[in-house]
Structure 1
Amino acid sequence: MSLPQGRDFQPRWPLTSGHIQTMLSSSGVRRKMLPRRAYHVLENAEEVMVDGGEGIRLSGSFTAQKVQPASRGLAVLFHGWEGSVDSTYVLQTGSRLLEDGWDVFRLNFRDHGESHGLNEALFHSCRLDEVVHALGDIARRWPARVMALAGFSLGGNFALRVGMQAPAQGIPLHYALAVCPIIDPSEGLFSLEESAPWFYRAYFMNKWRRSLRAKQKAFPEVQYFELQELKQDLRGLTEALVLRHTDFGSLEAYLEGYSVAGRALANMQIPATILTARDDPVIPVDAFEKLELPANIELDIATYGGHCGFIRGWDMTSYCDNYIAARFNAIAEEHACIA
């Protein structure tokens, strides 16, 4: 079977600009221009709570397919940092998978979406155990012949780390796909501060500060931060919260805690794909080129696409949808033949 490749994505100008791709990917303009089918995953969606272990609750949304007698499998989607189950790219991908007969589960990480009041402790990117536990709960409650996982940006980083742990935890995850994942967090943080245009920092910082204020409002008896700390830059605020709310002891140790750089993915047991773009202005391509990957992990570096964009044209649909669906379908067909 011939699968779509990153090199096949050849948009017309001005969508050859990584900055335009990135800015459009989560823009309100794109949300308004997308065709109605991009929102089908919202129809008859069931809002649920899943078990993150040790009393932790994570929110999510399950939508059952209705296009064929039996589901192809369960597709689980992870959003990016300060995204949610309702992020445009998550809705569009989920809707595309529904069309192909997949049941779809969209998971909110802690303190994302409207979930700030569910757990007292703050979200941080090393809270992997609760996401793994939640995936196990999802697998038990919505059993499927095949389960495949896709994540975007920070969600792609989580997807790769979850894929590493799932077999040992007895979770029947068959495949993981990461779109523009964070590889080396220290390098990514440097990139946003030192080389990326200022408006990316402003965008992420505004969303993060708004999220932190929502957390403080949900738990007014807990002091999560000093007001002065909110005025710091990305590095300063991250370090302040790491030292205040984690046991890592330093910003460097925290960033290393969720790195998948170098040989970190060498022991991945399930098949996986990493898709990124050479013109991604948020995650430097150098980190991908330095990866030392086993044969079961496909690294696909497209020329164009920006950060989680891959927008094909002025209908604002994404090449990622067909890319992800094709690989999920191939995994489902492979396991159908085995069965």
Structure 2
Amino acid sequence: MHIADFRPPPGLANRHIQTLLPRCLPRPAFLGRTEILTLPDGDFVELAWASEPPDDTAPVFVLFHGLEGSVHSPYARHLLHAAARRGWRAVLMHFRGCGALPNRLPRAYHSGDTADAHWLLTRLARRYPRALRVAVGVSLGANMLIKLVAEEGGDGLDLTGVIAIGAPLDLAASADALRHGVARLYERHLLASLKRKVARRLARGELPLALTPGALGKLDSLRAYDDAITAPLHGFADAEDYYRRASAGPLLGDLELPTLLIHADDDPFMPPALFARLPAPAFPVHVEVAHHGGHVGFVEWRQGRLASWLARRVGQQLDDWQSTTAAIRAALDPDEASW
């Protein structure tokens, strides 16, 4: 485990300030396009393409957002921009129902739902077979991505590397952490968004749930929501079964791809000393822990203004993987040095 080089600005180290501060930063505009990707079960996900270089060998950056996130989330804009400005083909996959359109089937998405991401990554490998590809997950998307990498092994995903930011690797412990103190405000915000979507679909009779509007309104925690909605919609016995089967933490020792894990010790969405309760990561995993940063915050002071350290750190990692890959290709075949 390594200490991240993140340093918060003086007076802005508090974990809640760091968590909320990205919302105050100017964020890059999204000027790309949306693609509807049809899934094998007839449903779809929306892809937000932030940049599409004409060269089909341009490296590919795939981003998976957090719970109720989207291309409009501050971290998404900054990370996509960091990749695009380096000439990468940058895309965000919205989980089902998180884009502009409601999804078709009587289900949603969850922290262990790896099939859609796998489908996207295999499609991109076929579209751009000669391009370096990197996948990045944030929060829920990070847990999902780690689980996917563990399930598929080193040969199952044609990726150069993976980055996981603020991953709730112990879902039950994270649900408990959100029940205490100021963290309850985050839980209420997320819960309100989730319940609004479910209320609309229940009113249209689209969900096979024995849940009245009144009962939905009384769900007062993410654990209660997962017990009443996430679990039955997605084949889990209850919330505990979901947390146990979907948590990626127990799989850290199974990772076979180069993986960067970025975590803040003061993340209000996580229990203290998260990695002490998990198995030791496998050899290809590089864990960077910052003393501060909040939940997917990591706002630093750079060049006379507040800026995203996450975007800078992820950009550095993209540069490292791209240069290393180019050097290996050149050594193996000088004619491929320009890939």
Shorter-chain TM-score category? 0.7 to 0.9
Q: Which residue of the other structure, out of 305, 310, 317, is the alignment partner of 1:327?
A: 317
- Per-residue CA distance 1:199-238 (angstroms, 9 max, x = gap): 1222221222223234446x54445442113321222222
**Is 1:147 matched with 2:133?**
yes
Name 2:12's counterpart in structure 1.
15
SS of 1:237's partner is helix
Name 1:171's counterpart in structure 2.
157
Q: Which residue of the other structure, out of 198, 211, 220, is the alignment partner of 1:233?
A: 220
Bigger shift: 292-301 or 114-123?
A: 114-123
C-alpha change, 1:214 and 1:23, in structure 2 (3 Å) is farther
SS of 1:60's partner is strand
Q: C-alpha separation between the residues in 1 aligned to 2:130 and 2:182?
A: 42
Within 5 Å, which residues of 2 pair with 1:118-133? Answer: 118-133=104-119
Q: Which residue of the other structure, out of 96, 105, 122, is the alignment partner of 1:110?
A: 96
Q: Which residue of the other structure, out of 295, 309, 325, is the alignment partner of 1:307?
A: 295
Amino acid at match of 1:34: P
Q: Which residue of the other structure, out of 317, 324, 336, is the alignment partner of 2:326?
A: 336
C-alpha change, 1:199 and 1:243, in structure 2 (3 Å) is closer
Segments of 5+ residues of structure 1 without an aligned counterpart are none
Q: C-alpha separation between the residues in 2 aligned to 1:99 and 1:54?
A: 35
Q: C-alpha separation between the residues in 2 aligned to 1:125 and 1:316?
A: 31
Within 5 Å, which residues of 2 pair with 1:229-308? Answer: 229-234=216-221, 235-262=223-250, 264-291=251-278, 292-308=280-296
Q: C-alpha separation between the residues in 1 aligned to 2:3 and 2:35?
A: 34
Identity fraction in percent: 22
Residues 43, 103 of structure 2: 8 Å contact kept? no
C-alpha change, 1:243 and 1:82, in structure 2 (3 Å) is closer
C-alpha change, 1:188 and 1:142, in structure 2 (3 Å) is same
- Per-residue CA distance 1:304-323 (angstroms, 9 max, x = gap): 11100001149552100010
- Per-residue CA distance 1:288-329 (angstroms, 9 max, x = gap): 233311111011110111100001149552100010111112
Residues 277, 305 of structure 1: 8 Å contact kept? yes
Name 1:77's counterpart in structure 2.
63
C-alpha change, 1:271 and 1:205, in structure 2 (3 Å) is same
Cα distance, 1:285 vs structure 2: 3.8
C-alpha change, 1:281 and 1:93, in structure 2 (3 Å) is same
- Per-residue CA distance 1:26-73 (angstroms, 9 max, x = gap): x3xx2xx416xx22xx22x2211224322231111223355x977651
C-alpha change, 1:99 and 1:253, in structure 2 (3 Å) is same
Q: C-alpha separation between the residues in 1 aligned to 2:319 and 2:201?
A: 39
Name 2:333's counterpart in structure 1.
none
SS of 2:34's partner is strand
Kindly tell me the number of residue pairs found equivalent between the two proteins: 322
Amino acid at match of 1:48: E
SS of 1:312's partner is strand
Bigger shift: 320-329 or 288-297?
A: 288-297
Amino acid at match of 2:236: F
Residues 64, 92 of structure 2: 8 Å contact kept? yes
C-alpha change, 1:13 and 1:214, in structure 2 (3 Å) is farther
Residues 196, 282 of structure 1: 8 Å contact kept? no
Bigger shift: 183-192 or 291-300?
A: 291-300
Q: C-alpha separation between the residues in 2 aligned to 1:140 and 1:118?
A: 26
Q: C-alpha separation between the residues in 1 aligned to 2:266 and 2:274?
A: 13
**Is 1:34 matched with 2:20?**
no
Residues 14, 294 of structure 2: 8 Å contact kept? yes
- Per-residue CA distance 1:117-153 (angstroms, 9 max, x = gap): 3433232333222221222123323445210011111
Name 1:136's counterpart in structure 2.
122
Residues 236, 242 of structure 2: 8 Å contact kept? yes
Segments of 5+ residues of structure 2 without an aligned counterpart are 330-339
Q: C-alpha separation between the residues in 1 aligned to 2:247 and 2:318?
A: 25
C-alpha RMSD of the superposition = 2.4
Within 5 Å, which residues of 2 pair with 1:51-70? Answer: 51-64=38-51
Q: C-alpha separation between the residues in 2 aligned to 1:276 and 1:237?
A: 26
- TM-score using structure 2 length: 0.86
Q: C-alpha separation between the residues in 1 aligned to 2:224 and 2:84?
A: 42
